[in-house]
Amino acid sequence: MFLKKLIGHEDREKEVIRDMDSHLRLLQDGCKAFHEAIERNDHARMRRVKELEREADTIRRDIVSHIYEGAFLPYLRPELSKFVELVDQVFDLLEYASACYLEIRFPDSLRSEAARVAFLNQEMCGMLRLTLQATTAGEDLREKRLAIRIYEKRIDDLKFGLMHDAKAIPVEDFWEGKTLSDFLSRLSSVSDVIEDASDHLGIISSIIK
């Protein structure tokens, strides 16, 4: 086992990195499905989010077990796992939001703003994926992390607008109202966690130096 590590061609590490990229690709696909589902009020598309979340969960478990089976030096392992967990958190938020959406009759007055937030989330994921690629390549992350913060601030601005508009929606049923509120709060949190994940990549990049 030791000899393999000595002579082996970094196979395990490369596999972990490949899987982490796939994990993010799935997230991007999930955000895309989510955005399109809201824009076109397509329930079938919204259900796809859950399927993607399940696939992502499997990849996540593979990644973590490969990491702790001996990929990378011990001091890097918790940081890499933490990143994977953060990506998983985003997926959980997305999945929960999709479930909320399917439960209610989504008000059309909120549709375009919500779709816009979902679109920006999708773009943010793409940028996070580029940031991960840059981290594993040993490149400077500064511009990409700024880009992610820019997205997050834009979504922040839209968030309050959404909340404001939501108040104008008449709520006859408590659960309908609560579920809508849950949807909006999850939708808004996605960008916060993506930003956290990007910050974590910054940490990984600096401890390896």
Partner 1 sequence: MKVFEFMTTRLESVDSRKSVYDAVEKMVDRRIRSLLVRFPGDDLQDGVITARDIVYKVLAQGKDPQAVQVSEIASRPISCVSKDLPLREAAQLMEEDGVARLFACDGNRIVGVLSMMDAMAAMLILRARGEHVS
Partner 2 sequence: MWKILSGAFLGWSLGANDSANIFGTGVATGTVNYRTAVWLTAAFLMAGALLEGPKCMEVLNDLSSLLPLHAFFCALAAALTMTAMTALAVPASSSHAVVGAIVGVGLVSGSADLSPLIKIVTCWVLTPICGLVFGYLLLRALTFLFNRTHMSLTRRNRIYFLGILIAGCYGAYTLGSNNVANVTGVYVGSGLLTPRSASLIGGLAIALGVLTFSRRVMMTVGRGIAPLDPFTAFVTVLAGALSLHLFTQVGIPVSSSQAIVGAVVGVGLVGDVRTVSPRILVKIGLGWIVTPVSAGLLAWLFVVFLSGPWWFS
Q: What is the CA radius of gyration of the chain?
A: 19
Minimal distance in Å, beta carbon 73 to partner 2?
6
Quick check: 200 and 79 in contact, CB under 8 A? Answer: yes
Q: How far apart are CA 35 and CA 46, in angstroms?
A: 9
Q: Which of 100, 113, 129, 107 lies closest to 35, judged by CA?
A: 113
Q: Does the footprint of partner 1 cover residue 117 (CB under 8 A)?
A: no
Q: Interface residues for partner 2 in 68-97 (CB under 8 A)? A: 72-76
Tell which one of 11, 42, 85, 143 touches partner 1 (CB under 8 A). 143
**Which partner in partner 1, partner 2, none is near 195 (CB below 5 to 8 A by kind)?**
none
**Which partner in partner 2, partner 1, none is near 157 (CB below 5 to 8 A by kind)?**
partner 1
Q: Can you read off the two tokens belonging to residue 188?
A: 């808004």
Q: Does the footprint of partner 1 cover residue 144 (CB under 8 A)?
A: yes
Distances (CA, A) of 101 to 33, 87, 107, 137, 182: 13, 21, 10, 38, 9
Q: Which CB, 190 or 197, lies closer to partner 2?
A: 197
Residues that bind partner 2 (CB under 8 A): 2, 5-6, 10, 13-14, 17, 72-76, 135-139, 207-209
